[in-house]
Amino acid sequence: MTDYSAFTPYLEWLDSQQDAMVEDLIRVANINSGSYHTEGVNRVAEAFAELAAGLGGEVSWHEMPAQEVISNQGQKEHKPLGRALQISKRPEAPVRVLLCGHLDTVFPKDSGFQQVRWLDDKTLNGPGVADLKGGLILMLRALQAFENSPFADQIGWDILFNPDEEIGSPGSSTLFPALAAQNHVGLLYEPAYADGNLAGERKGSGNFSVVVRGRAAHAGREHHLGRNAIRALADFTSALDDLNGQRQGVTINPGFVQGGGPVNIVPELAIMKFNIRLERPEDEAWCLEHIQHLQNDINSRDGLSLEVHGGFGRKPKVLSPANQRLASLIRECGENLGLALEFKPTGGCCDGNNFAACGLPNIDTLGIVGGKIHSHEEYCLVDSLSERAKLTALILFRLATDTDRDWLKRS
C-alpha cells in the first residue's frame, strides 16, 4: 500500500494555486489560436513557454511542415502551421513521462467566439477553456508541485505543446515516434467528460477527399459529348455509404460535397469529403480495399477520373496490458482524492490514439472537467483545475515511488 501522506504538502500547495490557475487560463483562452491562425497559435505557445519557465527544462521549438489539403476547387493547397514547443528535463531518469496537449482550438481567427466569460462563479465559458488550455494550465502546476518535491529525481519528462491536434496533427505527429520511444507512459490533457470520468478505448479515424473530373459540354447542343462528374460522384458516394453496416464498428460519413456550376453545362468537376471511424486496426485494410474497388469502377468509365486523397491519421486506441496498468494506477490516485474514476470507450479520437499506436501507454483525458467542446457553449468547471492538478501530481508521485517498475519495460 502506498503511504500518500508524504505527498500531502505538495497537494496542498496546488490548492493554494487555484486562483492563479484561473487567472492564467483566462489570459491564454482570450488569445485566439484557431489551428490555421498560426500567429495566434505561436503567441499561445510563447505564453506557455513563460508559464513553464520555473520548471527549468530545456526548451526546443519545432517548425512544422505545411499541411497538404484538397481545396474546394480540387487543387492541392499547402496551409502553414504554428510551431510545436517541447520542454524536456532529466533524460537519464529511471522513469520517463510524456505530458502532451495541444495549443490550437477549432475556433478560427474570425470566429464569433473569442472571449472568456463567467456563466456562474464555478463555470467559465470560452474558446479552449476545456479543449484544451485548461488542461495545459493544470498540467504545468502539477509538474511544478512535483519538481518542488524530493521525488523529482526519479522522473524525467518531455512536455509537448502541439499546434495542430484539432486538424488531426498532420505536422506534429511526425514528432510522436521519437517521443514515444524515449518515454514509458504518456499523460495527455484533453478534457475529462462532464461527469468527471475519463476515456479508455478510442475508435480510429480517417479523412478522405475525392476529386472527380469529367468533361464539360453544352447541355443542349452537345450533351452527348459531356461526361457528368456529379453523376459519377453520386454513384461513388451512394456505393460508399452502402458500406455502412457491413462491418462491425465501421462507420463512413460523406460529409461535404461540391461540384458543377451553371446548369446548362455538363459539370466537369465534383468534390466530396468523407470520414471513416473504425474499432480495430485490421478494419483499415477492409475499408481501403473497398474504396479502391469503387474508385476502379468510376475510372473504368469513358472520360471520367476519380482521385482519392487522404488516409487514416488516427489508429484505433486499444488498451494494452501496460495501458490498463496505468489506468488502474490512475484509478487508485483518484480514489485517494475522493474521485471514483471510470474509463469509458469513445468514438472520438485524439493524439492518445497516435501515441498508443507508437506503443506508448497513455491516458488522454487528464485535463479539466467540462463540456460542450467545439461549440460556443464550451465550458470549464474551474474547481477541477486544482482537483485534476492534484490527480496529475499524484500520478507522478506514484510513478516516482512505486517499486514495481517491470510493467514500464517496453515490449
Cell digits for 17? Answer: 494555486
Cβ(368)–Cβ(128) below 8 Å: no
Tell me which stretch binds Zn ion (CB under 5 A): 81-89, 186-194, 328-336, 385-393. Answer: 186-194
Minimum gap (Å) between residue 350 Cβ and Zn ion: 6
Cβ(182)–Cβ(96) below 8 Å: yes
Cβ(69)–Cβ(61) below 8 Å: no
Please identify which residue in 24, 131, 351, 387 interacts with Zn ion, judged by CB under 5 A.
Answer: 131
Tell me which stretch binds Zn ion (CB under 5 A): 80-88, 113-121, 129-137, 278-286. Answer: 129-137
Pick 70 or 368: Cβ nearer Zn ion: 368
Tell me which stretch binds Zn ion (CB under 5 A): 11-19, 185-193, 242-250, 322-330. Answer: 185-193
3-state SS, 300-319, equals CCCCCEEEEEEEEEECCECC
d(CA 170, CA 311): 11
| Binding-site size, Zn ion (CB under 5 A) | 3
Q: What are phi and psi of 381, to 5 degrees?
A: -80, 110
Pick 106 or 399: Cβ nearer Zn ion: 106
Pick 149 or 205: Cβ nearer Zn ion: 205
d(CA 155, CA 329): 16
Pick 135 or 206: Cβ nearer Zn ion: 135
132 counts as binding Zn ion under rule CB under 5 A = yes
Minimum gap (Å) between residue 257 Cβ and Zn ion: 27
Site string for Zn ion, 49-88 (x = CB under 5 A): ----------------------------------------
Tell me which stretch binds Zn ion (CB under 5 A): 16-24, 123-131, 294-302, 311-319. Answer: 123-131
Tell me which stretch binds Zn ion (CB under 5 A): 56-64, 189-197, 248-256, 299-307. Answer: 189-197
Q: Which residue is nearest to Zn ion (CB)?
A: 131
Minimum gap (Å) between residue 32 Cβ and Zn ion: 16
Residues binding Zn ion (CB under 5 A): 131-132, 190
